[in-house]
Amino acid sequence: MYVSKTDLGLKKFARYDAVAVLAWLLVVIPIGFISGLGFTYLAEAIHNLYIEIGLILLIIFIIVIIQIWLEKMFVKKETGIKL
């Protein structure tokens, strides 16, 4: 673990980690709230459960495809078997 190799104490690590978590919360919570408002608006406009479920599945599918593409682009896998 990085903390054990840098002589960073638990209290100092917890402070740094708390700042990072707070920063991410300030970013992620508004994104989720706005996304929820957009989905509610879209659900009222569509009035069809099958289209809403299809939209959710499409979004999940797109996210998975992007993750696979990013992994292929940035993760270097070793070839061959080392004994």
- pLDDT per position as a tens digit, 5-48: 677 788 888 898 899 999 999 999 988 888 878 777 766 766 77
Please tell me whether the overall predicted TM-score, pTM, comes out greater than 0.75 for this model. no
Largest Cα separation within the chain, whole Å, is 60
Domain positions in the chain are: 2-74
- Answer for the pair 19, 32: CB distance below 8 angstroms, yes or no: no
CA distance 57 to 48: 15
Distances from the Cα of 82 to the Cα of 66, 71, 78, 79, angstroms:
31, 23, 10, 9
Q: Examine the pLDDT at 4 and tell me if it is beyond 70.
A: no
- Answer for the pair 43, 52: CB distance below 8 angstroms, yes or no: yes
Supply the pLDDT for residue 48.
Answer: 72
